[in-house]
Every structure is written in structure tokens, then in C-alpha cells.
Amino acid sequence: MNDKDKLKEVVDQAIADQQVPHVKLKKMGPSSVDIEKLTKPSKETHQEYWGKGLTYFAIGLIIVLVVSIIGFVGYHGLATFIDNHVNVFHFLTSTDWDPGEGKNHVGAAVMIVTSFAVTLLAALVATPFAVAIALYMTEYSSKKGASFLQSVTELLVGIPSVVYGFLGLTIIIPVIRTLFGGTGFGILAATLVLFVMVLPTITSLTVDSLKAVPSHFRKASMALGATHWQTIYHVVLRVATPRILTAVIFGMARAFGEALAVQMVIGNAVLMPYNLVSPSATLTSQLTSQMGNTVMGTLPNNALWSLALLLLIMSLVFNFLVKLIGKRGQK
């Protein structure tokens, strides 16, 4: 006897016995119960399957997307080394960038050095400001002041990056030109533009990290007779350090990947920067300005894809660092 028959028997018996006396099952004879319907999934169950399926599909789509971005960029980026036989070590260390001339002229060191230089300098300048604003918002100011600064940082995030580039071009470059001579284009200009762009990123994440410090830590420190600053320096900042580092890395990731604003002020000359105001090129600026000038599948084009791959790898490294610090911070 299968389950359906069993169920039918039980239902029939129950109806015959009227086991639940106050529930009158009017017009319900033993044969009126549709066992098929009782044992099938309900409409709601179907909807549940469909709904759940839709959400699975959406999340799957995003994962496929990320995998294919990495796959496509990786495939084209590696072509330089596999198809064109460029030496990886040479690619990373040589400053000779002229891929049109053949495989011995594909050296990305200039772009790598400049990219790291602007990123590190921007983070270095922005971090003290970001921590100061975050401290002011969480430890010093009234609610009104904090929400005012909150809007300030949100506005800074909202300004499009080309607008920053344009401002750099029309304000910062002329100032540098008069102060230091030369063209004004270079690492200094890029650093200043990036400083404003990463400031809100680092600030808002630092605010979160300071807010996460339990207030009884502060009270305990105050009760010991510490001054406000001693409390901040020895207690609040100590506890929040891992997450502040995470914030700085997020800011650096943004600076490293920023393309147009940097491209507008860096000068776009593949020359090793010998000071902060000599024109140079970053990975992103080179990609932006040269991608349209090369033909798909040729060495100059493949070399550019290798730069893109380098950007992608660095973005993954930044993510990995954030994870690493997060794990250590939990301990």
C-alpha cells in the first residue's frame, strides 16, 4: 500500500468518526476529499520555488559576470606573454615602453611605479585628514555638526571623477606650474586630485570603525582620569586600528583604479618620474589614452591588456589584504 492510499484511509476514517466534534464537516462524505490535491505541492509552494529560483538566478548571473571578467581580461592579458613571448620579468622591470617596436620593448615599470606612487602618496595625505574628520564626527562634535560633515563627505563622493580631473586641470596644474615650473603635469597633481577623491571613502569607513568601539571603553578610560585625547589615542584608536587600515586600503584601491581624473593631470608621457612634477603615466592613464589607438590582437594591444590584467590583479590583492586584516582584527 502506498502513502497516498494510506493518507486517504486516515482522512476517510477521520471524517467517518468526526473526531473533532466542534468542526462540522458538512457535505463531506468519505469520497469527497481530493487526495491528489492534498498530496500535491500547493500554489504557494510553486511560487516559493519560482521566487527562490529567481533570486538564485540573479546571484548566479553576478557570479558568472565576475568570473568572466577575470577570465576575459586574464586571457587577453596573458596573450602578451604566451603568444608574443614577452618575458614577464622584463615586462615588470623594464622602463622601455614601445610595444609597436617588438617584444623587447614591452616594459611597464614606469606605469607600475607611477601608479603605486600616486596611490601611496594620496593615501598618505588623505589618511590624517580622514581620521581627523572621523574623530571630530564621533568624539567631538554635536549631532548637527556630524550630520553636516556627513553631507560634506557624501557630496565629495557624488562629484563625478571627470569633474575632479577638470578642476585639477584648471586649478591645480596652473598653481604647480607657477610654483615649480615645468608643465605642471605629474605625480603631485595626480596626488592632489586623488587625495580629494579618496578622502570621503576613507572617512566614512573610519567613522564606522570608531562608532564600533564600545562606549564603556571610553568611560573606563575617563574614569581612570585620562584626558579626552589620551582616551582617543590610547583606547579608541588602538581598538579601531585594524578597521582604519581596512579603510585606508579601500581608499588606495579606489586611487589605484581611478582612470580619467588621473589621465587628465598626469601628463601621459611614458617616462620614469624623476620628481613629483615631471610628466608620467599610470596603468589606468595609459589604458585610457592608448586603447583606442591599437588594433585588437596585435602586440601593442595585448600589452595594454596586460596592463589591465595588472590592474585587476592589484584590485584582487587589495581585496585580499582587507580580508586578511579583517581576520586578524577579529582575533
Minimum distance of another protein from residue 211's CB (angstroms): 16
Which of 199, 240, 248, 281 forms a contact with another protein (CB under 8 A)? 199
Question: Least distance in Å: CB of 161 to another protein?
Answer: 7
Q: Of the two residues 231 and 278, which places its CB atom closer to another protein in the complex?
A: 231
Q: Least distance in Å: CB of 313 to another protein?
A: 11
Site string for another protein, 246-275 (x = CB under 8 A): ----x--xx-xxxxx--xx-----------
Q: Pick the closer one to another protein by CB: 16 or 233.
A: 233
CA distance 38 to 220: 63
Nearest distance, CB of residue 231 and another protein, angstroms: 9
Q: Write out the three cell numbers for 187.
A: 605625480
Using CB under 8 A as the binding rule, the residues of this chain from 218 to 247 that contact another protein are 226-230, 232-233
Return the bridge partners of 106, or none.
97
AA identity, residue 26? K
Out of 21, 128, 181, 214, the residue judged to bind another protein by CB under 8 A: 128
CB contact at 8 A, 183 and 280:
no
User: Taking a C-beta distance cutoff of 8 angstroms, is the pair 153, 251 a contact?
Assistant: no
- Alpha-carbon gap, residue 211 to 247, rounded angstroms: 14
Grouping H, G, I as helix, E, B as strand and the rest as coil, residue 272 is coil
Per-residue contact string for residues 142-181; x = within reach of another protein by CB under 8 A: -------x--x-xxx-xxxxxx-xxx-xxx----------
Q: Which is nearer to another protein, 94 or 125 (CB)?
A: 125
> Segment contacting another protein (CB under 8 A): 6-14, 31-39, 269-277, 289-297?
289-297
Tell which positions 62-121 bind another protein, by CB under 8 A.
62-63, 65-66, 68-69, 72-73, 76
Smallest gap from Cβ 310 to another protein, in A, equals 10
Q: What SS3 class is residue 280?
A: strand
Q: Which is nearer to another protein, 107 or 267 (CB)?
A: 267
Give the number of residues written for the chain: 331
Amino acid (one-letter) located at 209 = S
Residue 1 or 63 having the CB closest to another protein: 63
How many angstroms from the chain centroid is the CA of residue 329? 19
Nearest distance in Å: CB 27, another protein: 24
Question: Does 38 help bind another protein (rule: CB under 8 A)?
Answer: no
Cell of residue 19, nine digits: 473526531
In 3-state terms, what secondary structure has residue 72?
A: helix
Question: In the complex with another protein, which residue's Cβ is closer, 63 or 223?
Answer: 63
Binders in 310-329 for another protein, by CB under 8 A: 311-312, 315-316, 318-319, 323
Closest CA to 115 of 291, 301, 288, 286: 286
Distances in whole angstroms, Cα of residue 89 to Cα of each of 96, 108, 176: 13, 10, 36
Place of cell 595626480: 190
Contacts 24+ apart (CB under 8 A), 96-105: 97/270, 99/299, 99/300, 99/302, 99/303, 99/304, 100/299, 100/300, 102/299, 103/299
Q: Which residues within the stretch 46-65 sit at the binding site for another protein (CB under 8 A)?
A: 47-48, 50-52, 54-59, 61-63, 65
Minimal distance, residue 70 CB to another protein, in Å:
8
Please, which residues bridge with residue 280 across strands?
A: 267
Least Å distance between CB 68 and another protein?
Answer: 8
